[in-house]
Amino acid sequence: MPLNTQIQTLGARKIDSPLPYNNLEDDKQVQVFVDKDCSQEIDPQILSLEAAGPRKKLYFNPTQAKCAIVTCGGLCPGINDVIRAIVMEAHHAYHVPSIIGIPYGLEGFIHTFNHNFIELTPSKVSDIHLFGGTILGSSRGPQDAEDIVDTLERCNINILFVIGGDGTMKAAQMISNAIQNRGRKIAVIGIPKTIDNDINFIPQSFGFETAVYKATEAIECAHTEACGVPHGIGLVKLMGRESGFIAAQATLALKEVNFVLIPEAPFTLEGEGGVLQALEQRLLKRGHAVIVTAEGAGQHLLERTSETDASGNVVLGDIAVYLRRAIKNYLNSHNVRHTIKYIDPSYIIRSVPANSSDKVYCGFLGQYAVHAAMAGRTDMVVAKVQGQYVHLPFEIVTRSRRKLNIHSDLWRAVLESTGQGTLKGMLPED
């Protein structure tokens, strides 16, 4: 079934843009090649997508518009940079008189939580990009879309910017649907955020590059620890519930990792072709080893649970605890003296400020989100796909979560770097 890439609009644009540029465009389409690394649910194809950027004509009168920004879900490097970019663009480029920050995620809309809105001015956000986290705070879990729209109506908000991951974009879509069902003219614009880099159709989310850099620091420490004792093992657990992008990319960045375990590759521990036997051989030959595992790896080896977190995600078993026990038992049974040093840098990785490259990326996303909103676009996210900033409907980015393609050159490079390509489960079955 062909993908519907049409972007919804609130109505005809009749107001001249106040921007001074002479190269403003209206509804330009760009051709983007989408392959299995962008989305594994479709065959590789060229899609025509609406280009992001300022328009000649606007739907909203900027000097009468009122905006709101909300951040949801887990932290990620660069959230403050996106907030700052939205506020600065809306205030200085479009002269929007009021930008409201919604505190603590979607629950900030619900009056029973008694959270106070934050007036976001240029002076308020001037230096927030120097810090990690989000100035607005965050929370997990759903809230009633009708209650949220009630608040938007009471506060006379015309534009809502939603910064969050897959679950948040689904919530934004429900909010947009509720708005449309009431016949209201409120734009809902998403800025996709995920530390796991797993949002459908978006090859790299903001903050991912910073997260990989911080992950390499943890891996380097694990390597140092492993080299410092006989048969030392450095074990590092990185974020990645359903995708191993951080683990794979950090491995390629440092080249000190011997085994990478990701959710997409159902590895085997025991027997011929298993990780334990290969680890023993590595220790006896080289004297040390480094193992990197994504948090969602190896769940097929652990006891399943029906428990879910506030976002509705199944609570994962702790693969690191399982691996430590399995490694210890195996090596002890084979009389291999060893020491395991375990490092979990998850919250350090996600809470640091963005690096310079991610800051540039966040700046573009914030600016393009404002341009889209002022032009009356809604029910969409701003995204960078194959080097081009485009508009994508909520429906496309929420269809599924993106996973690391183990047929890809990226995974092949990881296997070559670690030498684990002969192990069971590391290569796709014919």
The Cα-based distances of 70 to 37, 146, 261 in angstroms read: 29, 16, 34
Cα–Cα distance between 398 and 404 in angstroms, integer?
17
What is the reported pLDDT for 305? 74
pLDDT of 404 > 70? The answer is yes
What is the separation of C-alpha 184 from the centre of its chain, rounded to a whole number of angstroms?
Answer: 30
Residues 45-70, mean pLDDT to the nearest whole number: 95
Q: What pLDDT is recorded for position 42?
A: 81
Query: Which tokens go with 180?
Result: 């449309």
Active site residue 196: yes
- Side-chain-side CA neighbours of 292 within 13 Å: the count stands at 37
Mean pLDDT of 362-386: 97
Residue 430: pLDDT over 70: no
Q: Report whether pLDDT(22) > 80.
A: no
145: closest CA among 113, 180, 119?
180
Task: Quote the CA–CA distance of 90 and 25 in Å, as a whole number.
Answer: 19
Confidence of residue 43 (pLDDT cuts 50, 70, 90): confident
Residue tagged active-site, from 196, 198, 358, 379: 196
What pTM did the predictor assign?
Answer: 0.95
22 Cβ neighbours under 8 A, 6+ residues apart: none
281-326 pLDDT tens trace? 999 999 999 999 999 999 999 887 777 776 667 778 999 999 999 9
In this predicted structure, what is the pLDDT of residue 25? 75
8-205+354-397 carries CATH number 3.40.50.2300: no
Q: Each residue of 410-420: pLDDT tens digit?
A: 999 999 999 99
User: What are the domain boundaries of the chain?
Assistant: 8-205+354-397, 212-351+407-418
Q: Is 156 exposed, middle or buried (0-12, 13-18, 19+ CB in 10 A)?
A: exposed
One fold for 8-205+354-397 and 212-351+407-418 = yes
pLDDT at 1 over 60: no
Contact 162, 380 (CB under 8 A): no
| Cα separation, 316 vs 355, whole angstroms | 30
CATH fold label, 212-351+407-418: Rossmann fold (3.40.50)
> What is the spatial distance between Cα 416 and Cα 28, in angstroms, rounded to a whole number?
42
Q: Kindly state the average pLDDT of the residues 114-120.
A: 97
| pLDDT tens digits for range 5-16 | 999 999 999 999
The tokens describing 340, both together, are 């395991």
Lowest mean pLDDT among 30-39, 99-108, 224-233, 243-252: 30-39
Close Cβ partners of 245 (under 8 Å, ≥ 6 residues apart): 196, 197, 198, 208, 404
Residues 6+ apart with CB under 8 A from 150: none
Instruction: For the chain, give the mean pLDDT.
Output: 94
* pLDDT higher than threshold 90 for residue 424: yes
In this prediction, residue 373 carries a pLDDT of 98
Q: Tell me what pLDDT residue 316 has.
A: 87
pLDDT average, residue stretch 347-369: 97
